[in-house]
Structure 1
Amino acid sequence: MTVQGATSESAAVREVDALVIGAGQAGLSAAYHLRRRGLAPYTGFVVLDADDAPGGAWAHRSPSLTMATVHGFHDLPDFELPVTDPATPARVAVPGYFAAYEARHALPVVRPVKVLAVHDRPDGRLLVETDSGDWLTRALLNATGTWTRPFLPRYPGRFAGRQLHYADYRGPAEFAGQRVLVVGGGASAIQVLSEVGAVAETVWVTRTPPVYHEGPFTPEFGREVVAKVEERVRAGLPVRSVVSVTGLGPSVAHRRAEELGVLHRRPMFDRLTEHGVAWGEQELAVDAIIWATGFRAELGHLAPLGLRAPGGGIRMDGTRVADDPRIHLLGYGPSASTVGANRAGRAAVNDVVRLLRDAAAPREQALADA
């Protein structure tokens, strides 16, 4: 069940045992498992979502990204994605699926609610400050993802033409007949090249040579990838992109880009110029630059808790923040994929249920002794 326009109860501080921030894949997975473990909707747990409607980041993807070209999608627990026409835009199919999932499991999603900050409380609970009132919770499952924090690297110089991040890319039509520079070595860059390359001249640049994974994505390979990412987050180092660990795999977009002959990578330029980019004395004029340079975890609202390690990341133990077991980060580190998000939701809820049970034991004993 979704509560829309949740602003009328702003005056009172509401209390729950567990609070989920974000209703994307990871947040909905966590909500499903919280409900399955017996926490009551709205009183035991709640999901706060900043968007106006279901869909998470999928609702904001380019209309040109279809279910045929999506780079992997996994079903939510206990409800399969209905058979969908491959030509359907992902921004239509996936939000529809998420909406049906919320309704099917009567999940307590409140939207639109923007979480502004999370503060520690002397009584051991967390105060979640939002634009429509505050909440108190004993456990926090953060599933805010990365879409709202696109990463744009800084380079010297100034380009007078159009620049946009992949988050603002809406398809190839507007670039027809132009020369377009595509920056980035991940799946998003491949998608852009496969689409824009059909209507425009493209130039592809990456900071390092792209790494390709030729073999199948077996369970063993998946475990190796997870282990590499977990090693970094346990040490409190910044999270790397999934592709930097897995390499680029086969996809519809990749095959299309190969057929177009647009996968001729050039090294990263030194600087921006008024009309393009330059490598030393060699300049290339372009009409537009599309930065497919990834995203960073949206965790600014957690800053008051001081979770950052000296290495710049957050030290993790599975999905749990190593220095604060009340807080779980879903979609962070090894759970930053649709299948990883599902597993993370289940694992986090198992920990949260134990935390709540252990916290309740002294209170119950005190009541028994009274």
Structure 2
Amino acid sequence: MGLDNASVKPHERLAAHLSDDMAAVNALIRERMASKHAPRIPEVTAHLVEAGGKRLRPMLTLAAAGVCGYEGPYHIHLAATVEFIHTATLLHDDVVDESAQRRGRPTANLLWDNKSSVLVGDYLLARAFQLMTDTGSMRVLSILSNASATISEGEVLQLTAAQDLRTGEDIYLQVVRGKTAALFSAATEVGAVIAGADETVVDALRDYGDALGISFQIVDDLLDYWGTGEIGKNIGDDFRERKLTLPLIKAVAKADATERAFWSKVIEKGNQEDGDLEQAIALLTKHGALEDTRKVAIAWSDKAKAALEIVPESDLRDMLCDIADYVVARLK
């Protein structure tokens, strides 16, 4: 039985293993997202935080600390920090992308307004920095603050690169490392750092998070053209938003003059008509772009698992390996 068809999926097994710690993380999140003077802050935050989601990023922090034998209290603070940073970026992203739905619910910017989403996102980032300082670790503060800057840099780079047919795989990887992998790698790295792990283990867990995050984002981008829309993402959303993701970059690289004119029309100029998505998928299939992208995602998943080889054996390490497999399981 494949991981995607298993009765208990890897992230659910990890969540069950970390249930006590995650309960403490959730309690801390509710405490720190409160505001005496601005009731809209907990309203907006609760709408997104309590909408569901796998909470994978904070679980990675808890797992990294656990696999390194940490027994102190600050992995809870760091997991909450990671979730606050992630939630803040979602609030900001929905404004930038003019999104109307996330996790099957109306977005905060639709229910309230753009100003509320941006300002509440800013508040959560401030709360995240407060939680970081609670640990008393300058190294932790450096890792997470650098990740926050890298995330913003990646999002800005995507603004200029996403609709430019000259964008190559190197720039795409830079964007992915910024907007997604930076927080994954910081989440796992700070878990190891707070545990006082050996530097080789810290590096290994950071590399695991980086590779996992890259694989995660490539899969997300591929699912825009792959599947039936029953995987939590609507087919064609990235296409309609004119995002030049890896499948398109691979197809554009092999396009003839007629095909390149089509890509310029729908992506660079935004002149999309009925049937264009179907034509795009046909071109992706013709040039093997979907299959090539799938192989890239699996290669990064394999890199994530390889990074864990020097981490001490434990049930948690096995679960982290299974998470890397699960990220790409829907593509097999």
Structure having the higher strand fraction is 1
Which protein is bigger by CA-based radius of gyration?
A: 1
Q: Same fold (TM over 0.5)?
A: no
Structure having the higher helix fraction is 2
User: Which gives a bigger RCO, structure 1 or 2 (Cα 8 Å, sep 6+)?
Assistant: 1
